[in-house]
Chains A and B, each alone.
Chain A
Amino acid sequence: MSKLTLKTEGDRYIVVTRRFVAPPEAVYRAHTEPELLQQWLLGPDGWTMPVCISELRPGGRIRFEWTDGRGRGFYQTGEYLELEPFSRIVHVGRMHLPDPTPDNHVETRFAPDGDGTLMTMRMTLPDAETRAAMLATGMEHGMEDSYARLDRMS
């Protein structure tokens, strides 16, 4: 299967690539339509996204709320800046952990690649404080496991 690549670009960006066995239109839709986003943009198993707002126009609002169903959760707000169906999305987003993190500027491109799509996502590298906060959210699998163990102990 197609493997994910992840690399830093200078000291400000992270570039992620991933190939999908579906045309760009389908991958673009899965990145922008709430009923599709809610099926995969979730993090570790067990997390759901009960609130998914995606106003698909430049300036349109983005709001994703995640919960683990056990009282823990966090949310992300943002705005679409540029939309080129079905090839390019530019948006800004910020996590609320619960304090808002600095804006993450993300450009996502979908290019035809044989019978599939090559996605290239270029995002802002979060600052050290944001990285520490993200590590502490439970988005990380190992951490999720430790929380699960803690839950069993309490």
Chain B
Amino acid sequence: MANLDAAFSALADPTRRAILARLALGEATVMELVEPFELTQPAISRHLKVLEGAGLIVRRAEGTKRPCRLAPTAVAEIDQWLGMLRRALETNYDRLDGVLAAMKPEK
């Protein structure tokens, strides 16, 4: 199971989020990620290591290449928790809108 704290930490970086967005389109190798992100190969590799450590991506061996792809379950776990929080807050604040509207005549 993915480490959610490590996953949140990994997601805090905009480059890593962009890499995940790219991988959502399909598998990619380090070299294929270097060009669009205009980063060096070691820089991309460092980001991938963080993402892999957080359980957000998985890599497989293909000759000398190690293509990366999204690990869907880790993303789903984070989405589930943030989604729960969002729905709980939305329900409450929609109700609060009604409470505030009812308070107005008192003023």
Asked if residues A30 and B99 are in contact (CB atoms below 8 Å), the reply is yes
Residue in A14, A22, A44 whose CB lies within 8 Å of B85 = A14
A147 contacts partner chain B, Cβ-Cβ < 8 Å:
no
Chain A residues contacting B107 (CB-CB under 8 Å) are 26
Q: How far is the CA of A151 from the CA of B72 in the complex (A)?
A: 32
Chain A residues contacting B92 (CB-CB under 8 Å) are 40-43
Main secondary structure of the interface of B (DSSP, over half): helix
Chain B residues contacting A50 (CB-CB under 8 Å) are none
A113 to chain B, nearest CB (A): 14
A141 contacts partner chain B, Cβ-Cβ < 8 Å:
yes
Interface size class of B (residues with CB under 8 A): 20 to 34
Asked if residues A8 and B8 are in contact (CB atoms below 8 Å), the reply is yes
Chain B residues contacting A40 (CB-CB under 8 Å) are 92-93, 95-96, 98-99
A122 to chain B, nearest CB (A): 13
Q: How far is the CA of A131 from the CA of B2 in the complex (A)?
A: 13
B78 to chain A, nearest CB (A): 9
Asked if residues B100 and A22 are in contact (CB atoms below 8 Å), the reply is yes
Asked if residues A30 and B86 are in contact (CB atoms below 8 Å), the reply is no
Q: How far is the CA of A12 from the CA of B9 in the complex (A)?
A: 8
Asked if residues B93 and A4 are in contact (CB atoms below 8 Å), the reply is yes
B 7-50 to A, binary, CB cutoff 8 A, 1 in contact else 0: 01101100000000000000000000000000000000000000
Within 8 A of A (CB), among B77-91: 80-82, 84-91
The 18 sampled A-B contact pairs (Cβ below 8 Å) are A1-B97, A11-B8, A20-B96, A29-B103, A30-B100, A36-B103, A39-B99, A40-B96, A40-B98, A42-B91, A42-B92, A42-B95, A43-B92, A45-B91, A128-B4, A135-B81, A135-B84, A141-B91
Which 8 pairs of residues, A with B, have the shortest CB-CB distance?
A11-B9, A22-B100, A40-B95, A140-B84, A128-B4, A40-B96, A11-B8, A131-B81
Binding site for A on B (CB under 8 A): 3-5, 8-9, 11-12, 80-82, 84-93, 95-101, 103-104, 107
